[in-house]
Structure 1
Amino acid sequence: MAQTFTTEIQARYRDINLAGHVDNVEAVRVLDEARYEFLRFARLPGLPDGATGLLHGTAAGVSELVASQTIEYHAEMRFVPYQPFLASLWVSRVGRSSFTVAAELRVEAGGCPAAVWECVNVLWDHGAQAAWTISEAVRADLEQYAGDPVAFRR
Structure 2
Amino acid sequence: MAQTFTTEIQARYRDINLAGHVDNVEAVRVLDEARYEFLRFARLPGLPDGAAGLLHGVDAGVSELVASQTIEYHSEMRFVPYQPFLASLWVSRIGRSSFTVAAELRVEAGGGPAAVWECVNVLWDHRAQSAWSVSDAVRADLEQYAGDPVAFRR
Name the TM tier (shorter chain): over 0.9
Over residues 51-105 of structure 1, what are the superposed CA-to-partner deviations in whole Å (9 max), with x where a residue is unaligned?
0000000000000000000000000000000000000000000000000000000
State the SS of the aligned residue for 2:27. Answer: helix
In structure 2, runs of 5+ residues without a counterpart are none
CA distance in 2, matches of 1:35, 1:103: 8
Q: How many residues align?
A: 154
Query: In the TM superposition, what is the alpha-carbon distance from 1:124 to its structure 2 partner?
Result: 0.1
Query: In the TM superposition, what is the alpha-carbon distance from 1:18 to its structure 2 partner?
Result: 0.4
Query: In the TM superposition, what is the alpha-carbon distance from 1:3 to its structure 2 partner?
Result: 0.0
CA distance in 2, matches of 1:22, 1:56: 33
The equivalent residue for 1:36 is 36
The equivalent residue for 1:88 is 88
State the SS of the aligned residue for 1:35. Answer: helix
Over residues 15-40 of structure 1, what are the superposed CA-to-partner deviations in whole Å (9 max), with x where a residue is unaligned?
10000000000000000000000000
CA distance in 2, matches of 1:150, 1:19: 29
CA distance in 2, matches of 1:5, 1:123: 20
CA distance in 2, matches of 1:131, 1:11: 34
CA distance in 2, matches of 1:131, 1:14: 35
CA distance in 1, matches of 2:66, 2:14: 23
CA distance in 2, matches of 1:85, 1:11: 7
Query: In the TM superposition, what is the alpha-carbon distance from 1:2 to its structure 2 partner?
Result: 0.1
Query: In the TM superposition, what is the alpha-carbon distance from 1:142 to its structure 2 partner?
Result: 0.2
In structure 1, runs of 5+ residues without a counterpart are none
Percent sequence identity is 93
CA distance in 1, matches of 2:71, 2:133: 27
State the SS of the aligned residue for 1:138. Answer: helix
User: TM-score normalised to the size of structure 2?
Assistant: 1.00
